[in-house]
Amino acid sequence: GLPHSEDYHRGMRLRKHLPLTLLALLVAGSSVLADPMAPPNDTRARAMQSISQADTTPRLEELYRLARAGDDTALLLQLESQSSREDLPAAARDYILYTFAISLGDLEAGSVGPAVFQYLESNSPRVRVPHPDHPRVGVPLFNIPAAASGSRIRWHYDEARASGQRLMALGSTQWLTAYLVESPAGRQGMLDGLANATATQTRQVGERALAGTDKRSERTEVAARSALLLQDPDMLRSAILSGRGPALTAAIRDMHDLLTPHEVVSLAAAAIAASPPATAALIFAEPAERLAGEVEMTELLFSTLPDPERGGAAAMALARNPNPEVRARLLTLADDGDSLTGRRVQLALGLQASAET
């Protein structure tokens, strides 16, 4: 029963299939530890050695059999038995429960009931090994609550994706209404399900999201994803100009997949004119090498320097530009330390110099 054997890899497949957003959710809200600052009680090498000497495969196979059979009562009894067996090293018990918990994500949603998840999510890991950066602090070798939470999230993701596809057949209004009240995992499932919608359905959902007046980040998310699926630069432009929240950052990061450098400059100018200051600042914050050679963008940034709300972001973008002519213009402006523009440029150049050292 080595930790790198087939039963382990079967359980770990879930990590490969989870979207990055769901992995972030798993890490952020995963751990139910009795004492997060407790010291280590074993070493990684010694714990892994003890697992390699334990016969974990048949024990896991029995748990899988009971889960597939839907026998929650027998499954809970078996989980408790594996958890409390004194003839098994503590690391092996943690490993069995962890591998089973993470493997639940590969089963069909609903295969086991809430009581099974509650048991696993409340089961504090027994073995704590030294933290790689703070060796006096112990971290779980196998975080059982995290694995169970990840599988529960995966089930909800799958259910929401399937539900979204059914709702799409009823119309964009029904789909968007359900999306806006979903959990983050559910929204991710519904968004990913758009890949299976028709172009007409995707366009209707994107336009419906843009038509909302509440300016929620979730609407930006839908409109931007729809635009990318449709390869529609106009829809993406609208999503960015009206966008809010974390989804706006993601949409701006993706804009280079659809927009030419000239279109990005036009988008930045439109954002300066009609969007909140954060929108232009996020566009300006894009990696300098993408737009460093665009004279239009350079001139737009210089013209934005006096702007009370957007000038600081423009100064930072210009300071990252490696063009010697741009740097010379900035140094000239920095000589006027009494003006707002001069002070901004001085600060931006100083911060950039610090970042380069």
For residue 170, give every residue at least 6 positions away whose Cβ sits within 8 Å of its Cβ, in sequence order, or none. Answer: none
Cβ proximity of 149 and 30 under 8 Å: yes
70 Cβ contact list (under 8 Å, min separation 6): 111, 112
- Token pair for 1: 């029963």
Yes or no: say if 170 and 177 are a contact pair by the CB < 8 Å rule. no
pLDDT of residue 38: 85
Q: What is the pLDDT of residue 288?
A: 59
pLDDT value for 24: 40
pLDDT value at position 291?
A: 65
Q: Is beta strand 128-130 parallel, antiparallel or unpaired with respect to 138-140?
A: antiparallel
Q: How far is CA 40 from CA 2, 3, 31, 35, 122, in A?
A: 22, 20, 16, 11, 20
Low-confidence ranges of the chain (pLDDT < 70): 1-35, 287-293
What's the whole-model pTM score? 0.78
Share of the chain above pLDDT 90, in %: 71
Tokens of 322: 């490696």
Residue 165 CA: distances (Å) to CA of 21, 188, 214, 254, 297: 20, 13, 25, 25, 41
pLDDT, position 9: 41
SS3 of the chain: the string is: CCCCCHHHHHHHHHHHHCCHHHHHHHHHCCCCCCCCCCCCCCCHHHHHHHHHCCCCHHHHHHHHHHHHHCCHHHHHHHHHHHHHCCCCCHHHHHHHHHHHHHHHHHCCCCCCCHHHHHHHHCCCCCCEEECCCCCCCEEECCCHHHHHHHHHHHHHHHHHHHHHHHHHCCCHHHHHHHHHCCCHHHHHHHHHHHHHCCHHHHHHHHHHHHHCCCCCHHHHHHHHHHHHHHCCHHHHHHHHHCCCHHHHHHHHHHHHHCCCHHHHHHHHHHHHHHCCHHHHHHHHCCCHHHHCCCHHHHHHHHHHCCCCCCHHHHHHHHHCCCCHHHHHHHHHHHCCCCCHHHHHHHHHHHHHHHHHC
Residue 12 is predicted with a pLDDT of 41
pLDDT for res 321: 86
Rounded to whole angstroms, the Cα distance separating 55 from 311 reads 65
Torsion angles phi and psi, residue 140, rounded to 5: -60, 135
